[in-house]
Structure 1
């Protein structure tokens, strides 16, 4: 996963092309640390070509507010600039595998 800047996030949110996955986290969140490890397994072992961008929610409070983000961790899935899924409960690698399989 690649860390993205505020500007890159705004560009991604405005993109009308393809599928974008953005993982929002906080470095102070224990659950986020577990979620990060789960996503690393997904992107290295199960779907090595899957691109997930990550963004520290503390660095983009205005964007988080405009997206009405309730909590972290959050995996936001967008198609053609529209939010199609918000995943707050990461549950397990198997659960994430089923959600991410179409992407």
Structure 2
């Protein structure tokens, strides 16, 4: 995963990005991260996730209307998609392919 910093925050406005929004002390976020890392490895470089620490960017949480963490924000030319449920690797993988 590629971290988003103050210097790279403009990535949020680009289309075709998948941004994992988390907080460091969130147990569910750690589980979701493992699933996303497995997807990255399995894709052999075809899928790249960015990560954003919600605690460092509260203005992004409001601007993008992020309701909770973990959240996977998928930016497109249209309205961005938000995934809050990370139930299984297979289910999430299917959702990602349907959003591409």
Q: CA RMSD in A?
A: 1.6
Find runs of 4+ consecutive structure 1 residues off by over 3 angstroms. Answer: none
Q: Distance in 2 between matches of 1:98 and 1:50?
A: 13
Gaps of 5+ in 2: none
Q: Look up the match of 2:46.
A: 49
Whole-Å separation in 2 of the counterparts to 1:37 and 1:83: 27
With over 3 angstroms needed to count, the CA separation of the structure-2 counterparts of 1:40 and 1:21, relative to structure 1, is same
Q: Which residue of 2 aligns with 1:5?
A: 5
Give the CA deviation at 1:49.
1.7
Shift of 1:51: 1.2
Give the TM-score normalised by structure 1. Answer: 0.86
Listed one character per residue, the Cα deviations across residues 55-84 of structure 1 (whole Å, up to 9, x for unaligned) are: 10001011111111110000000113x433
TM-score (norm 2): 0.88
